[in-house]
Amino acid sequence: MTGLNTVMTPINTLGIFLMWLMVIPIIFGLSLRVPKLVATGFIVVLFLFSSSTWGQLQAENTIYARGVGMFYFSLLNLALLIAGVATFVRKLANPYSTHLNLPLGKYFLAFVFLLFSHVVLGLMSGVDIFDILGYNGIINILNMLVFMYLVVMAFHNERDTRHLLYTIIALAAVRALFGIIRYVWFDGDSANPYKNFENLDIKILFFDIADNFIASLAAFCAAWLLTSREVRLSLLKRLMLCAFLVLEIAAVALSFRRSSLVGLALMFALLLYRLPGASKWKFLLLGLGMLWVTALVFFQQRLQFNIGDNTGGILSSLIYDIAPEKNLNDNRFYELFAAAKSLGDNWLFGLGSWGTFSGDQELLGYHFGKFDFVHSGFGHIILKAGLVGLLLFCLLLVAYTSYYFRHRKYLNGNARLIADAGFAGFLFWVPTLLIGTPIIEFRSMLLIGLTLAMPFVAVSLEKYRVRTYVVA
């Protein structure tokens, strides 16, 4: 029987490989003919399926890891790259098409060149190609940009953008309801490091930061619709949006992620900034009330375990692991110190996509012996690609921010909502880019790509309206 299994394994592997070869032209063709369908398919997967297994007692494969054993890259990643090639072919076939303009194209080419340089230098140094292109390197920056372009080129008229908006809201509602049901009746998310690793009596709704982003993005859209003077809503619709807003904020609050709460606050600060005088004060009072309730729940359910002898209250317990009075060995930033020390004289170009750092094994025990990433998106880029890589990434974000503020004043209706939601989503990710690990997370980086795409989609919609009006 063992011999039969030995024979069948290569046969099954070959069958799956041949089946995938047949799928490639299908994905390519769909990306050429109906890119909106392909982009929507990716969004459905990203919104409904978690990628985080950290904190589980028994790790399990997610949809984002399927195919890694056979192709090294996941099947979803391969599908994204195929769709990206098809998008590029569409651009070559229609070089003068206004809705196929590549935003931030020079940064895309710069990161392609940077990654290619890592491949060449890594192979010359005897590094395995799969270590160079591993997910703990910088390849997810390329995945982020590919998905961004896929979304930008898939949604470009009124019907498309309305479809995108409804899809985001509907999927976020489904995901939040799933989380609430699991939290109330099934002990919450199984990926719970506070309970499983630290033995704290805490249930959490979602540990994956991407789920917190989805809930925050949906909450922002609901709040935008409720406060906008451009939108006229019936009483029933307003009540439904209010219930939806509470549901999504509860999803964030009951996940007990500090970076998520800060990110959500930044999103609503943007909305507050955009509101006119009287509405601004009403929203400020309402927002402060909701923030206080959220902080109170957060403190009672999680931060109470971090107080110890600390008498500083909520704020001091919120920064318990980075408090100034802690020495370096007890501080969350020891990891970044160890990584910076390991860089040596390689600050300009980093240690390469395959690079690792070293430090105290006991203090870094939560790495479980893998020192090829750090808990800072910006710090991770420096480790892998140096200050040159960080400069490229920051210039990309600056160009994106400039584009949003330059065009936002000319937008209205759904276009303005999509642009605002996109930039608010970017603000949500800023704390995670500072102290989290988004660069090594395929799902997180694609969702960042979605937020980067949304203002460009909005501007494309406004240009489409102008062209339609002129023709008419």
- Among candidate residues 451, 388, 395, 380, the one with its CA nearest the CA of residue 419: 451
Measured between alpha carbons, how far is 217 from 169 in angstroms, rounded to an integer?
A: 9
Which one has a higher pLDDT value, 101 or 227?
Answer: 227
| Residue type (1 letter), 415 | A
pLDDT value at position 470?
45
Which one has a higher pLDDT value, 18 or 347?
Answer: 347
Q: State both tokens at 429.
A: 């990710």
User: Could you tell me the pLDDT band of residue 161, with boundaries at 50, 70 and 90?
Assistant: confident
* Low-confidence winner among 40-49, 71-80, 195-204 (lowest mean pLDDT): 195-204
* Low-confidence winner among 170-184, 232-246, 412-426 (lowest mean pLDDT): 232-246
User: Could you tell me the pLDDT band of residue 318, with boundaries at 50, 70 and 90?
Assistant: low
Average pLDDT score over residue span 343-368: 87
User: Could you tell me the pLDDT band of residue 321, with boundaries at 50, 70 and 90?
Assistant: low
CB 168 within 8 A of CB 221: yes
pLDDT value at position 22?
75
pLDDT value at position 309?
46
CB 82 within 8 A of CB 75: no
* Low-confidence winner among 112-121, 133-142, 184-193 (lowest mean pLDDT): 184-193
CB 80 within 8 A of CB 143: yes
pLDDT value at position 17?
62
Phi, psi of 92 (to 5 degrees): -65, -35
Work out the mean pLDDT of the chain and round it to a whole number.
83
Measured between alpha carbons, how far is 434 from 456 in angstroms, rounded to an integer?
A: 25
- Determine the distance from the C-alpha atom of residue 375 to the mean position of all C-alpha atoms in its chain, rounded to a whole number: 15
pLDDT value at position 114?
95
DSSP-derived secondary structure for 116-130: HHHHHHHHHTT--HH
Average pLDDT score over residue span 134-150: 94
Element (H, E) at 310: none
Phi, psi of 330 (to 5 degrees): -100, 0
Which one has a higher pLDDT value, 253 or 58?
Answer: 253
User: Could you tell me the pLDDT band of residue 4, with boundaries at 50, 70 and 90?
Assistant: very low
The yes-or-no verdict on residue 323 having pLDDT over 70 is: no
DSSP-derived secondary structure for 170-237: HHHHHHHHHHHHHHHHS-S-S--HHHHTT------S--SHHHHHHHHHHHHHHHHHHH-SS----HHH
Q: What are the CB-based long-range contacts (under 8 Å, 24+) for 240-247?
A: 244/169, 244/173, 244/218, 245/219, 247/173, 247/176, 247/177, 247/180
CB 71 within 8 A of CB 19: no
Compute, in degrees rounded to 10, the torsion defined by CA atoms 349, 352, 353, 355. -130
- Among candidate residues 35, 425, 433, 471, the one with its CA nearest the CA of residue 266: 425
pLDDT value at position 467?
54
User: Could you tell me the pLDDT band of residue 194, with boundaries at 50, 70 and 90?
Assistant: confident
Average pLDDT score over residue span 73-97: 84
Count each helix (H run) and each strand (E run) in the chain, helices first. 18, 0
The yes-or-no verdict on residue 177 having pLDDT over 70 is: yes
Measured between alpha carbons, how far is 381 from 388 in angstroms, rounded to an integer?
A: 9
pLDDT value at position 14?
58
pLDDT value at position 274?
82
Measured between alpha carbons, how far is 415 from 408 in angstroms, rounded to an integer?
A: 9
The yes-or-no verdict on residue 469 having pLDDT over 50 is: no
Which one has a higher pLDDT value, 332 or 412?
Answer: 412
Average pLDDT score over residue span 370-389: 93
The yes-or-no verdict on residue 70 having pLDDT over 80 is: no
Q: Which residues contact 252 (CB under 8 A, 6 or more apart)?
A: 212, 215, 216, 219, 260, 261, 264, 294
Which one has a higher pLDDT value, 38 or 324?
Answer: 38
Compute, in degrees rounded to 10, the torsion defined by CA atoms 434, 440, 441, 445. 70
CB 99 within 8 A of CB 460: yes
Which one has a higher pLDDT value, 72 or 130?
Answer: 130
Which one has a higher pLDDT value, 434 or 24?
Answer: 434
pTM, two decimal places: 0.90
The yes-or-no verdict on residue 462 having pLDDT over 90 is: no
Average pLDDT score over residue span 75-99: 82
Residue 443, exposed/middle/buried by CB under 10 A (0-12, 13-18, 19+)? buried
Average pLDDT score over residue span 276-305: 67
pLDDT value at position 198?
74
Q: State both tokens at 221.
A: 């859209």
Measured between alpha carbons, how far is 339 from 346 in angstroms, rounded to an integer?
A: 11
Which one has a higher pLDDT value, 228 or 64?
Answer: 64
The yes-or-no verdict on residue 334 having pLDDT over 90 is: no
